[in-house]
């Protein structure tokens, strides 16, 4: 009982931490957007995760990748990512541009995504790099990838990438969907775990009372005609 109760309170504590993180995420989402200059001047760009940004620059040509097995609105397809070389700098940031359906008849075919060569300006929010999915073996080197990592991309495309990415929002005439899910810290999960641990604690207590007190007393109490 002590162990399961302690685990239940630990999960409640974790839920409290996640709730504080969720509040921080929502507060950052309402801050004024960082400009390109403010993003570059930030000592730690990760300190601005989930904050809106309005940045400009030029797409790194030939560097668009398609992350496979990514879902949006319960459909499986590609996340399209392209590094954006930031205006007035030699540094770049990885942009998660949106989602596009894949051709299941020809799995090696990638859709055409407009990537203009001139200056572009986009809106979005700072986010961690794309989440990693389980894969067998090493990641390929073609345009279709299961996972990517920032240092590997920087080396492959010869750009200096910030260690964050941008989830692009707003409208752009490129045919990509941007119904990004709401960022959640997972508070409900810890509440569920706490309920399970407290349930086990209650069960252990009930079993203890039954076997230590109720059941022995029932065995000692005479039953039947001879008890009368």
Calculate the CA dihedral of residues 65, 63, 155, 85 and round it to 10 degrees. Answer: -120
Residue 28 has pLDDT above 80, yes or no: no
Query: Quick one: 147 and 191 in the same domain?
Result: no
Asked if the structure places residue 175 within a domain, the reply is: no
State the average pLDDT for the chain. 86
Within this chain, do residues 7 and 103 fall inside the same structural domain, yes or no? Answer: no
pLDDT at residue 223, as a whole number: 59
pLDDT value, residue 70: 93
What is the b/e burial string over 175-208, where b = at least 16 CB atoms within 10 angstroms of the residue's CB? Answer: ebebebeebebebeebbebbeebbebbeeeeeee
The number of distinct structural domains making up the chain is 2
Domain identity same for 78 and 152? yes
pLDDT at 137 over 60: no
pLDDT at 20 over 80: no
Is 152 within the bounds of a domain? yes
Host domain of residue 74:
51-169
Percent of the chain as helix, strand, coil, to the nearest 5: 35, 25, 35
Q: State whether 63 and 112 are in the same domain.
A: yes
Mean pLDDT of all residues in 125-137: 81
Instruction: For residue range 138-182, list pLDDT tens digits in order.
Output: 556 789 999 988 998 899 899 999 999 999 998 777 889 999 887
| Residue 226 confidence (pLDDT) | 54
- One domain, residues 137 and 75: yes
Please report whether residue 226 resides in a domain.
no
How many C-beta atoms lie closer than 10 Å to residue 60's C-beta? 20
- The pLDDT score that the predictor gives to residue 24 is 74
Within a domain: residue 225? no
Q: Which of 169, 197, 212 is the last residue of a domain?
A: 169
119 in any annotated domain: yes
Query: In terms of domains, do 84 and 147 share one?
Result: yes
pTM summary value: 0.75
130 and 206 co-located in one domain = no
61 and 150 assigned to the same domain: yes
Same domain, 122 and 72: yes
Based on the domain organization, do 104 and 212 belong to the same domain?
no
140 and 106 in a single domain? The answer is yes
Residue 179 lies in a domain: no
Is residue 178, in this structure, part of any structural domain at all?
no
Tell me: do 22 and 127 sit in the same domain.
Answer: no
Q: Which two tokens stand for residue 169?
A: 């929002």
Q: Of the given ranges (42-46, 135-139, 207-211), which has the lowest mean pLDDT?
A: 135-139
- Distance between CA atoms of 168 and 98, rounded to whole angstroms? 7
Taking a C-beta distance cutoff of 8 angstroms, is the pair 169, 100 a contact?
Answer: no
């Amino acid at each position: 009982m002590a162990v399961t109760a302690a685990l239940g309170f630990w999960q409640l504590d974790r839920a409290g931490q996640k709730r504080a993180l969720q509040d921080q995420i929502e507060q950052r989402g309402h801050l004024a957007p960082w400009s390109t200059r403010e993003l570059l001047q930030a000592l730690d760009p990760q300190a601005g995760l989930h904050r809106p940004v309005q940045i400009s620059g030029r797409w790194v040509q030939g560097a668009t990748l398609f992350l496979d097995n990514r879902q949006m609105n319960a459909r499986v397809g590609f996340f399209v990512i392209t590094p954006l070389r930031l205006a007035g700098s030699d540094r770049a940031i990885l942009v998660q541009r949106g989602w596009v359906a894949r051709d299941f008849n020809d799995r090696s075919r990638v859709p055409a995504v407009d990537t203009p060569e001139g200056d572009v300006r986009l809106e979005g929010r700072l986010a961690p790099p794309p989440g990693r999915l389980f894969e067998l073996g090493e990641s390929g080197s073609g345009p279709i990838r299961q996972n990517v990592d920032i240092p590997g991309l920087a080396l492959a495309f010869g750009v200096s990438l910030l260690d964050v990415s941008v989830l692009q929002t707003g409208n752009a005439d490129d045919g990509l969907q941007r119904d990004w899910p709401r960022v959640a810290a997972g508070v409900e999960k810890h509440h569920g775990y706490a309920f399970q641990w407290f349930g086990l604690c209650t069960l252990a207590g009930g079993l203890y009372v039954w076997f230590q007190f109720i059941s022995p007393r029932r065995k000692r109490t005479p039953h039947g005609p001879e008890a009368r």
